[in-house]
Amino acid sequence: MLKILRHYWHFIKNPSDRRLWPIHPSARTKVFFTIFLLDVSILILIFPIYMLIDYINPMVSTMDNTFETPWNVFWMGVIFVPLVEEILFRFLIKYKGFYGFIISRNTWRKYYRWIFYSSVILFGFVHLGNFDNNNFLFYFLSLFIVLSQLIGGISLGFIRVRINFFAAFLQHALWNLMAFSLGLVIIQLNNPLIKLNENHIQLEVNESNFRDRSIEKFDMISKNDRIYKLDIKQYALAEVIDSIYGKDKYQVYDIYLNLKLETQQGISKDSLLQELQKESTILEKSEE
């Protein structure tokens, strides 16, 4: 493993598209999982940076309805998106015969460092599109926001040129599968997000892994800016906020949720918003 890590470090300092060949399949497997575990370890180490960024500049993102069902998450997030990204950012970073019409092999080698790290930078910063933030601090911190993707871009590039394209795609798919699976576990461990039973107010909010539109429900009883009952199932947080407070007044870090509120005396909309903001990112657009 240490030999692999030393080779990887040398690659970072001086990347080349030389393939590990000939090499036994078991050795390729060892390289594959060594780099994967290295990326997991680095993510654990840098995770506090993401916590700090989210505290300094809360991240907002609208839920993509493409990921409503488990099948869509698997197909899009684990298969389709990794395949497309590998084709766009790493398929062409290994010299091919027809490149000779544009650039010689020697020139390619001479400038390969720039070629390789250009693909890494493009891959990293395209992931800024995962967020809806559009303020100066967001772009100022952008290098740290996509730090995991930049590191991943180097690792996937290493796997692509040292093993092959399919191995890079497989590692990308495995990474996304791990991330989605971990997210599902965290959601279940964190539920209920909110459970309030005081001052004649009963409020419970649970996050949902996916969205089942066959059972979605939005019932609200309100009067004079006070809410007396809410029974919401399988809605996105952004939809809930837009329905209660008006469209396009707030930005959120979106989740699917079930929300149940009952109170005879009613609760003001502002008080409900404050309760939701304790566990969810909900920002007025003027704050951006």
* Bridge partners, residue 54, by sequence: none
Phi, psi of 232 (to 5 degrees): -120, 130
Beta bridge partners of 253: 61
Confidence (pLDDT) at 288:
43
- Which tokens is 41 given? 């370890």
230-256 confidence digits (pLDDT tens)? 999 999 999 999 999 999 899 999 999
CA 160 to chain centroid, in Å, comes to 22
112-125 and 147-162 helices cross at what angle (nearest 10)?
A: 140
Q: Which residue stretches of the chain have pLDDT < 50?
A: 287-288
**Inter-residue contact 192 to 216 (CB < 8 Å):** no
Q: What angle do CA 135, 141, 147 make, to 5 degrees?
A: 135
Q: 208-237: per-residue pLDDT in tens?
A: 999 999 999 999 999 989 999 999 999 999
Number of residues that this document lists for the chain: 288
pTM of the model: 0.91
